[in-house]
Amino acid sequence: MKRSLGLLALACTTLGAALAQASVPAASLVNDTAIRGEAFPARLSDFGFFKDGARQIPQDFVYPYALNTPLWSDGAEKLRFIYLPGGTQLAANGDGLLHFPVGAAILKTFAFGTGKDRRLIETRVLLHRASGWVALPYRWNAEQTEATLALAGGRIDLVTPAGEAISYAIPNKNQCKTCHSSSNKVIPIGPKARNLSAAWLGQMLKAGKLDRVPEGAGALPVWARRKPKDAAEPLARAYLDVNCAHCHQPGGGASNSGLDLRWEQRDPHAFGIGKRPVAAGRGAGENEFSIVAGHPDESILLYRMGSAVPGIAMPELGKASIDKDGVAVVRRWITEMPK
């Protein structure tokens, strides 16, 4: 928890320094041609996003950020960055996903371990080209000096912060589309205004990198600051929005399930209460409804969250172990529902 809070604070502090530096140079050293072109650069360094890739020190015009409630991926530490070409800015769209100009990029590096033992595993890059968004995975080498394009994905044996030995999966290019897809178009899913801190958004606004801070910004709870006595519903709904709703929403990869787990969905049946699955198969176990109010052990949603077995586990990608904290919050939410 302290590590996550540290990342939130570091993102705002580092952003301040990055914005101050970005106001000095006339042009960025980031390779705009590599971002906007049709080719898939073979090395992460070809983009020029980092001054020091191994230490994840960003180049000018590359801005670190953190999410209030982050996507869980086997306990990995995630370092997130946004690149904006000179003279461009983000545009707010209510409390939802920020609008990125063509030529922008979003980066997310996955790492395990701390201090000298920290190991960079992969960096996922989203490039906003004139033809749309392109998602590319890059795998870091053992020397931690470079990350190379991994179109076919890959597997890495490692130990999670919880001490579990897993086979970590780097997604292939097509699997990136599984989550980053809406109405068959690749889109970002993380940087929504409601899931970004007001402090970060305020700094971007002040620096002219954001057009406005919308109402509802920063509404999702800060996951790392949760306490046992905090109301379970907002924590659970935020967790499901971030970890599941990119597929379980209209236009998402699992829209045919009829389950809508977005934060803004307020119809209890739509987000699962008393809802029978369209086709869950063995994923339902012996349960009949997505959520049975007051009965977590009879709820398909919790059953699938609490499994790491392929074909049962949800989410289907990006998970080789069980997020015990996430399961506990959703269990408490369902338990506290009026029966």
Share of the chain above pLDDT 70, in %: 89
Beta pairing class for 119-129 and 105-112? antiparallel
Q: How far apart are CA 61 and CA 87, in angstroms?
A: 10
**pLDDT reading at 231 higher than 90:** yes
* pLDDT value of residue 226: 94
**Looking at 35-49, 98-112, 265-279, which range is the least confident one?**
265-279
Q: Are strands 154-159 and 165-170 parallel, antiparallel or unpaired?
A: antiparallel
Q: Convert the pLDDT of each residue in 58-105 to its tens digit.
A: 999 999 999 999 999 999 999 999 999 999 999 999 999 999 999 999
What integer pLDDT is reported at residue 24 of this predicted model? 44
What is 56-84 written as a DSSP string?
Answer: TEEPTTEEEE-BSSPPPSTT-EEEEEEE-
Phi, psi of 271 (to 5 degrees): -95, 15
310 prior amide bond cis, ω within 30: no
Whole-prediction pTM: 0.89
C-alpha to C-alpha distance for 83 and 336, rounded to whole angstroms: 42
Tell me the pLDDT tens digit for each residue of 217-229: 999 999 999 999 9
Domain ranges of the chain: 2-206, 226-336
φ, ψ dihedrals at 291, nearest 5° = -135, 130
Confidence of residue 15 (pLDDT cuts 50, 70, 90): low
Helix residue ranges per DSSP H, the chain = 2-22, 32-36, 173-179, 198-206, 232-243, 300-305, 324-336
